[in-house]
Structure 1
């Protein structure tokens, strides 16, 4: 797969694997995203107590897993992933749909301890497993490193960027990933570790600073803004400066059409099936 695709049309990035199609940040989601025609997917990574890199968006396990009723986690609050080992986290079910995405025929399961035979596709995966599957599917991966600088002890979070790159190298995915973060210190560290790997500087929807300067300061290759306050002038300025631009989370078809006309290089969406 080549980034030359961005010269023909925006790349479609399935947000958290395509979380309108399957539980977010699971292997089930990326399979569904691929079936829906996504070129790649966006995932979020954090660290466990024993230093393993896992997929998880929130800074705790409560919303997207059954941690609120699982005895290992109920008896040992709070349910922060960095307080538990990978083996403990693997006991959880990630088979949870957000209510706004819950398909009409999807049976919302009671939040209980995970059955022994739950498919691996519906557990919290490691980054290594996610990248291995992505390579097999021929998909790009946008690896977002969550900002753990204030939420996690430095003894764990201090080397998360290095650990993420160790996984990327081991899985031989250097040429199929973009590493991004809201923590631009992480983005700069990425370029120090592996200058050849693409990076993206994430910013919020209400971002008002000069995006070109922000991307340059972060030493990034792309700008990943919230789309709501995006303007055609900003898109043009970023593209003219030689950077890619992949706005998130673009779920309405009309917004997809408008941003495509403005020249964005990618669209991050919960609905790859509609892009």
Structure 2
């Protein structure tokens, strides 16, 4: 693995990190700092170095996305295909936008997937992201690498926010149908992870409903990017999840307070700019998902 990561410990990774009161929070607020796809503002997204970097910084939770290989293994990937914006093919050539869907992860073995480089392309949105040749990892590899790093550095356990990426149009084409997909993830997390330190999240409410009905012990986060009211989304879901996780611009102080009054934690995404981080902290959110967890940690430690 070619990387220039320095394993300098600057955080403890403790379960909760206190934040000093703002003008809108009278009591000490506890913020769950989540590294989005690891720390993709700093290192290539959803790669082992990005997750290790997030742990090194001191996040409380690692946020990641899942896809499924042809062998029904869980791959850490935001798209169920090799995106043109991110990947070079097995011969280190560019992938065209028109052709990216043909690089379907659900139709590829992991040996084939490992030949794609997802760390060398320049990402305009993250101009200072460190670059190196690296492949998409299996979820099992991420968990093993993080556990090893935690053990070696005598750090507290870290939490996981695991997103199941699916939509009706992709069923049996880019991923399994919801019941099979949910079972694959459940079988892994119950056999290889501490389920008290994770939650499952999804934009696909079919997944969340299946978990709620069949695996009620697993904490759930409803991902939301639509402009429907919170009440409408909760009615569609049919139950109150443990976490409501929407695009931060869909929230305000009153909405956060209303959700929390229902016993639902509020963890918005993806909050990157210091002024926006300060704003959502002022609303009293329970956590923040950020491409730059270092910025969140810096603000709440001052």
State the TM-score, normalized to the length of structure 1: 0.84
1:124 to 133, 136, 154: 136
Q: Deviations over 1:186-229 (max 9, x none)?
A: 01212233212211000006343426834862452110110012
Matched, 1:13 2:13: no
Pick closer, same or farther for the CA change 1:22–1:266 going to 2, 3 Å: same
Report what 1:34 is aligned to.
55
Pick closer, same or farther for the CA change 1:203–1:269 going to 2, 3 Å: same
2:202/2:222 contact within 8 Å kept: yes
Distance in 1 (alpha carbons) for counterparts of 2:291 and 2:29: 22
Q: How does 1:180-191 map to 2 (within 5 A)?
A: 180-191=201-212
2:166 to 147, 150, 162: 147
1:212/1:238 contact within 8 Å kept: no
* Unaligned 5+ runs, structure 1: 110-117
Report what 2:119 is aligned to.
95
The Cα shift of 1:258 comes to: 1.7
1:245 to 256, 266, 269: 266
Report what 1:47 is aligned to.
68
1:20/1:101 contact within 8 Å kept: yes
Report what 1:58 is aligned to.
79
User: For the aligned residues, what is the CA RMSD?
Assistant: 2.9
Matched, 1:84 2:96: no
Report what 1:162 is aligned to.
183
1:187/1:219 contact within 8 Å kept: no
Distance in 2 (alpha carbons) for counterparts of 1:271 and 1:230: 20
Q: Deviations over 1:7-56 (max 9, x none)?
A: 84211101100101110000110111112221112101011111111011
Report what 1:257 is aligned to.
278
Matched, 1:67 2:86: no
2:69/2:108 contact within 8 Å kept: yes
Distance in 1 (alpha carbons) for counterparts of 2:236 and 2:44: 32
Counting matched residue pairs gives 261
The Cα shift of 1:100 comes to: 2.0
Report what 1:220 is aligned to.
241
* Unaligned 5+ runs, structure 2: 1-13, 20-27, 151-156, 297-302
Look up the SS of the partner of 1:273 in the other structure.
Answer: helix
